[in-house]
Structure 1
Amino acid sequence: MSTRQADASVKPARPRVAVVLFNLGGPDNQDAVRPFLMNLFTDPAILRVPPFIRPFLARYIAHKRVPAAQENYRLMGGGSPLLPLTERQASALEADLKQDWDAKCFIAMRYWHPFSEAAVAAVKAWQPEEILLLPLYAQYSSTTTGSSLVAWREAAAKAGLAVKTTTLCCWFEDEAVLANAAALAQGTIDAAKAALPPGTPLRVLFSAHGLPQVIVDRGDPYQFQIEAYVAGLRRYLTDPAIDSLVCYQSRATPQQWLAPSTDDAVMEAGRDGVALVVVPVAFVSDHSETLVELDMEYRDLAEKHGVPGYFRAPVQNDDPGFIAALAGVARHAQSRGPGLCSTAGGRICPTPHGNCPFAQAGHDTTSRMAIPAC
């Protein structure tokens, strides 16, 4: 056999890639609710007040919210299902990626265990050649992905973890993700039409977690990306022109939040006499905002206001189509790294969105968010 033939028969080395999945985290028992809320509200990305005020205000807000939060988690069995669901996603994603890589998935939660420090230690012990940071938020916000990236980099620097890293900031435009989300929504739309009396009008509410308006006004690209994601999702529906509305849930402070709110949209449906299909967007795992807020609180509100039918589309969780799509997102990002990447490769957000990580990477080298682009 010639040298050329021998070389051709050698399979390329499989890269050893640690895939770090970012998510919010949630208390796993009733005693964890208070410290979870303290972690949430002491994050400067969440509570944007002067640092000397934040600990006192966070303690006050957490104290006020503990009873209601504990009741919500009691309704879900005592704690958040977010970590077990994320573990299922990680296991399924790892199995898919192992077809091409020596891959291992790690979980870094922001406000409850496992925190970034534990994930960094586990990644360092595994000794990867490359790291892919993959947020389980399709849409970028400084309050979610941005905050998680800051926590990861601080933990990695403290632990001396220095490995070639690709950072995926957002994946709301990925066609496979959109197609999968639309298929889940369409299934619920079809079921609603079959269950409702003939001729009952139907409206789709695309419900995303809200943000204070001031955060968006200061350059956060979240609302732009939510609206772009919904526009992409609608393209895959059987009737892209179906009566629909983008709305925002989970308002947590008295300041102005993104509008319209989901509760206002539900009450409006009652006045209009239209049935509702609620499609969660910005969530890829079930947690209190879907299992309690959408499934219980808004359903009760719909019944109270005479909505003729209320249906909720499933989130993607570990749906096989979603996992396959997410694996495609991971492969595409890793092929572009190291550095900062979107599904399009470079910056997607229009210029006014100054809190897009690409804007900070290119123009604000002093920011804690500064990352070199791919």
Structure 2
Amino acid sequence: MVLFNLGGPDAPESVRPFLVNLFSDPAILRVPGFVRPWLAKLIAWRRTKPAQENYAVLGGKSPLRELTEEQGRNLEAVLREREPGTEWRSFVAMRYWHPMSDETVSAVQSWGADEVLLVPLYPQFSTTTTGSSITAWNDACAKAGLRVPTTALCCFHADEGYARSTARMVQEAYDKARAELPAEVPLRILFSAHGLPESIVKAGDPYQWQVESTVAAVIEHLTIPNLDSLVCYQSRVTPQKWIGPSTEDEIERAAKEKVAILISPIAFVSEHSETLVELDVEYREEADHLGIPGYFRVPAQNSDQGFILALADLVQRTRGSGRALCSFAGARQCPKQHGDCPHARAKVEQGAVQDAKLAKAA
């Protein structure tokens, strides 16, 4: 099992090269290739100091690698207990900092894997996250000559087990927050996901639709009368128009309406800078400044037992699917208009290969 995640700097001096890697990704910075390296370095230079300040709050580094490795060990333990005849091993492939795909491919080769499952720790598919990670993995495999049967799980945004385990954490946090608030103070849940430029979504990326599907699936498992909730998006980093509403705007609106808020980081399954700093420090300070009557947050899953069990179920179903590309339900889940769904892309690529073969035969 190869667990995909974003990655994060492991020391203050790693912040700038991490940012250069991030903005050098054509899936992130969608500009002509000859411009990208220079623009990536410029953006990284401008963002290094504020990013270092954020990571200083976390002790100078991101906790994401350690948390992801812990998730992998817990996942291994569950699967070994369920399938004692199968030798399971988890590896971590980070997209923008170590261990990155080339390092992980080498480790997988050294271990002698005869089958690989690609498991993104992004519940919702986006070309900027899971799509980019799969591309990087495939490129690293081609370069190293790793050729073993491989199955990729593309998404688990509305998986029953994932939705149920997430809802339990939301419900527990809601009940705790409700108990701390005066009865007359309303409480609103903000399901906050990382944002994307609107242009990427309009081009066919299914991320926003999948985020909204996640929230709908989670809400089905909540037992909250007259639930007040909405989906919003955080972490805007460029001046172009991003999908909304923004989390900051919703915090401001809640303050005006004298409503307490509970933020659920619905697109993250591990604590990192965007939860521990952006949500817990920056947004909390803004909420306090605006006079919100209560500010609470649902923790990320990390190695929550319910989440790990749901992930194990997903891994077993994916392995038994007989597909090279598998959603949580097997086949494609995204509506037709989302042309950047990986199943749609795979179909187009397969058609192109068949056309090339027919042309060659003719």
- When normalised by structure 2's length, the TM-score is 0.95
Q: Which residue of 1 aligns with 2:24?
A: 42
1:361 counterpart = 2:343: no
Unmatched runs of 5 consecutive residues or more in structure 2: 353-362
Q: CA deviation at 1:185?
A: 0.7
Determine the C-alpha separation between the residues in 2 that align with 1:345 and 1:70.
41
Report the AA paired with residue 276 of structure 1.
I
Q: CA deviation at 1:93?
A: 0.4
Report the AA paired with residue 30 of structure 2.
R
1:192 and 1:311 in contact (8 A); partners too: yes
* Structure 2 counterparts to residues 133-212 of structure 1, below 5 A: 133-212=118-197
Structure 1 vs Structure 2 CA RMSD:
1.1
Report the AA paired with residue 70 of structure 1.
Q
Q: Which residue of 1 aligns with 2:356?
A: none
Q: Secondary structure at the match of 2:242?
A: coil
Correspondence for 1:306 among 273, 276, 291: 291
Report the AA paired with residue 54 of structure 1.
R
Report the AA paired with residue 36 of structure 1.
F
Q: After superposing the two structures, state which structure 1 stretch, 312-321 or 92-101, moved more.
A: 92-101
Q: Which residue of 1 aligns with 2:11?
A: 29
Correspondence for 1:84 among 42, 54, 66: 66
Q: CA deviation at 1:198?
A: 1.7
Report the AA paired with residue 73 of structure 1.
Y
1:26 and 1:82 in contact (8 A); partners too: yes
1:165 and 1:337 in contact (8 A); partners too: no
The total of aligned residue pairs comes to 349
CA distance 1:366–1:85, change in 2 (3 Å): farther
Q: CA deviation at 1:337?
A: 3.0
Report the AA paired with residue 167 of structure 2.
A
1:165 and 1:338 in contact (8 A); partners too: no
* Structure 2 counterparts to residues 42-61 of structure 1, below 5 A: 42-61=24-43
* Structure 2 counterparts to residues 93-172 of structure 1, below 5 A: 93-99=75-81, 100=83, 101-172=86-157
Q: CA deviation at 1:364?
A: 3.0
Correspondence for 2:260 among 275, 279, 299: 275
Determine the C-alpha separation between the residues in 2 that align with 1:267 and 1:197.
21
CA distance 1:157–1:262, change in 2 (3 Å): same
Q: Secondary structure at the match of 1:314?
A: coil
Report the AA paired with residue 20 of structure 1.
V
Determine the C-alpha separation between the residues in 1 that align with 2:19 and 2:112.
33
Q: Which residue of 2 aligns with 1:70?
A: 52
Q: Which residue of 1 aligns with 2:357?
A: none
Determine the C-alpha separation between the residues in 2 that align with 1:240 and 1:94.
38
Q: CA deviation at 1:241?
A: 4.5
Q: Which residue of 2 aligns with 1:347?
A: 332
* Structure 2 counterparts to residues 226-305 of structure 1, below 5 A: 226-239=211-224, 241-305=226-290
Q: Which residue of 1 aligns with 2:199?
A: 214
The C-alpha deviation readout for 1:181-221, integer Å capped at 9, x for no partner, is 11111111001110011211110000000000000000000
Q: Which residue of 2 aligns with 1:10?
A: none
Q: CA deviation at 1:25?
A: 0.3
1:106 and 1:123 in contact (8 A); partners too: yes
Determine the C-alpha separation between the residues in 1 that align with 2:161 and 2:143.
37
Q: Secondary structure at the match of 1:336?
A: coil
Determine the C-alpha separation between the residues in 1 that align with 2:9 and 2:348.
37
Unmatched runs of 5 consecutive residues or more in structure 1: 1-18, 368-374
Report the AA paired with residue 78 of structure 1.
G
Q: CA deviation at 1:129?
A: 2.1
Q: Secondary structure at the match of 1:278?
A: strand
Determine the C-alpha separation between the residues in 1 that align with 2:225 and 2:154.
28
Determine the C-alpha separation between the residues in 2 that align with 1:159 and 1:56.
28
CA distance 1:102–1:240, change in 2 (3 Å): farther
Determine the C-alpha separation between the residues in 2 that align with 1:108 and 1:32.
17
- When normalised by structure 1's length, the TM-score is 0.92
Determine the C-alpha separation between the residues in 2 that align with 1:366 and 1:89.
37
